[in-house]
Amino acid sequence: MSGVLFGATLFLYFLATFHYILFLISQRESIGKVCRLTTIVGFAFNTVFLIYQMVDKGHVPMTNIRESLIFFSWAIVLIYLILEYRWKIRVMGAFIVTMAFVLILLSTLFAPGKAPLPEYFSSGWLGVHTTLAFLAYASASFAIAFAIGLMYIIQERQLKHKSPGAFYRRLPPLDVLDELSYRAIVMGFPLLTLAMLTGAVWANSVWGSYWGWEPKEIWSLITWLVYAIYLHARLITGWRGRKAAYLAVTGFLIVIFTFLGVSLLMPGRHAFR
């Protein structure tokens, strides 16, 4: 059952990615409707898969790299569907849903975790802490802001040319992209803050200290500071446009290193098992 649900999710996200790219090229509304339908159905299968895994294993399925990549994909699609419903900018899916598909495809490269889980993983804080963290990563990458930042950079370069290319009329205006990126980070930053606070409470209940200066904790703090700088620069000094887009992209690269690089390369309590 688990394999069927995962296979259906992977296939539907592939179909959604394919159709979103077609929609980006053609701008045909009929293709746009197929994009949304396949994304919603794929998200439904992804959700059922995660619930099945949680019931089967008895804990939130985010304890190894395979599970975490699948949950990350789910969180990205969830936030994207909310943004598309709110802003009606379907072309974002060519960037954002593609990212979710790539992540879930990458998960197939890793075997399910077989090592027995430490006792502290049975704590309810596991679900609270990791869910908040991945929703923050997805909304502020934070993944959505990263994709929108890329769209901004592409669109800006198009506008600088005397003869803009094919993307010029297909991507939203720069001011819309800038506002969307800001709103994604505004949505994600409190989630990241809560994830760090709940992680500290969880650590204190298990190890007797709120902060242990582990690599994952240090890089999570660096990630938090980057997005704090983004918000400060925008609200206090009025940063807009290209600078903000590049900072959003940089923040995502740090998120990816914090999520994958630190967990795979550096030993510690947060290392994937």
* Whole-angstrom distance, CA of residue 65 vs CA of residue 47: 18
- Res 115: pLDDT: 57
What are the residue ranges of helices labelled H in 58-173? 65-87, 93-106, 125-140, 143-160
* Whole-angstrom distance, CA of residue 105 vs CA of residue 217: 27
Q: Express each pLDDT in 12-24 by its tens digit.
A: 999 999 999 999 8
Instruction: Indicate the range of 11-15, 145-149, 168-172, 176-180 predicted with least confidence.
Output: 168-172
Listed residue (1, 108, 9, 106) closest to 53, CA to CA: 1
Q: What is the pTM of this model?
A: 0.80
Listed residue (88, 82, 107) closest to 13, CA to CA: 107
* Sequence-ordered list of residues with C-beta below 8 angstroms from that of 244, at least 6 positions apart, any chain: 149, 178, 181, 182, 230, 233, 234
- Give just the sign of the alpha carbon dihedral 112, 113, 116, 119: negative
DSSP letter string over 167-233?
Answer: TTTTSPPHHHHHHHHHHHHHHHHHHHHHHHHHHHHHHHHHHS-S----HHHHHHHHHHHHHHHHHHH
Q: Express each pLDDT in 180-235 by its tens digit.
A: 888 888 888 888 888 888 878 777 777 777 777 888 888 888 988 998 999 999 88
Phi, psi at residue 239, to the nearest 5°? -60, 130
Whether 118 shows a pLDDT value over 70: the answer reads: no
Q: b vs e for 187-217, b when ≥16 Cβ sit within 10 Å of the residue's Cβ?
A: bbbebbebbbebbbebbeeeeeeeeeebbbb
- Res 140: pLDDT: 46
Dihedral over alpha carbons 132, 256, 72, 141 (to 10 degrees)? 60
What are the residue ranges of helices labelled H in 27-64? 29-57
Listed residue (229, 237, 240) closest to 182, CA to CA: 240
* Whole-angstrom distance, CA of residue 103 vs CA of residue 253: 14
pLDDT band at 263 (very low <50, low <70, confident <90, very high): confident
* Sequence-ordered list of residues with C-beta below 8 angstroms from that of 25, at least 6 positions apart, any chain: 166, 170
Quote the mean pLDDT of the chain: 81
Question: How long is the chain?
Answer: 273
